[in-house]
Amino acid sequence: MSTCQTQKYGPLTGITFFETYTDGSPKGCAFDEPNTINTPVGILVPNYGPSNLRNREGLALEFFKSGQIKSIDLENTTEIITSLGTLSAERISFYENGRIHRLFPLNGRINGYWTENDEYTLAKPIDFDLAVGSFSAKIVSLCFYESGALKSLTMWPQETIELNSPDGLVKVRYGFSLYENGKLKSFEPALPEPIVTPIGIVIAYDSTAHGINCDENSVNYSPTGVIRSLITGNNGLMITEPEGKIFIQPLMKPGTLDPDVMVPEPMTIIFTDGKMEILQDEIVTVDLQTATVRAILVHDPMKKSCGDCSSCSSCG
């Protein structure tokens, strides 16, 4: 198939690959010639032609079953108007109503010939002035609510910023998420961070964080700024209940860089309605109305917890 007639965007030509839903409606296309797509953010040209060192292979244009555009890989970097101002984009995904869902300033494929560092070098810092802080950083992607408000921001691993949080000024890696009103919902600590919780101060840090996207992160707050959950690899918990005492701490497991070195695997602590849940290989639930819990430092927060990471950017 070299041509397809779409209900909402007219004829598409030069199709080299065409995927459909079970009812035959278009799901996605790849092209070898230019097409123009009239979208709510302007006229866009999907990527076309053979792949090269940096360009991704695959579908350049995807649709919802309704026929509305779902995502587009752009032929050229394009200026897009957003709630944060005009931003450059190489890939955009949409909500079904046509509003921007995610925007990617760059969209190169990472492989043995085009590395993460090559892509990072192309990235340009973007200035932000948000309720949680003002900063400049190189961005992997931005996620928006349907209202246009910023939902989450994901940075390159080499970047760190400072934000205002309910626990004061914090240093952030990978990124953060916001509530629709602009208040901080979650963030990924760049360093072990002391967080006020119902059981006292707990050191939050996830040595295994990946930063693929930052919709969810290690430290999570309620809309009113109360801690909801965190991940720690530094604290153990001494739990005193009417039945007796138990001590729970991060499990020691083989390191990812050196399996012969045992390192603490971070555990998740969730606070809800007077209860605390500890997530490891199993889930332990503690009633904070009847139990006393003390957080005890078991691993030095200033010591790297993932082994020999001199060549790794994850810890900064």
Supply the DSSP string of 232-259, one letter for each residue: ESSEEEEEEETTEEEEE-PEEEE-SS-T
Asked if residue 291 has pLDDT above 70, the reply is: yes
Residue with tokens 């208040």, as numbered in its chain: 183
CA distance 139 to 14: 33
Least confident of 1-5, 71-75, 136-140, 299-303: 299-303
CA distance 285 to 270: 9
**Amino acid letter at 20?**
T
CA distance 231 to 10: 49
Q: Let me know the angle formed at the C-alpha of 153 by 222 and 271, rounded to the nearest 5 degrees.
A: 20
Asked if residue 313 has pLDDT above 80, the reply is: no
Whole-number percent of the chain with pLDDT over 70: 95
Q: What are the beta bridge partners of residue 269?
A: 230, 278
Query: In terms of Cα–Cα distance, which of 184, 175, 185 is closest to 213?
Result: 175
CA distance 201 to 67: 51
Asked if residue 314 has pLDDT above 50, the reply is: no
CA distance 211 to 218: 11
Asked if residue 33 has pLDDT above 60, the reply is: yes
Whole-structure pTM value: 0.91
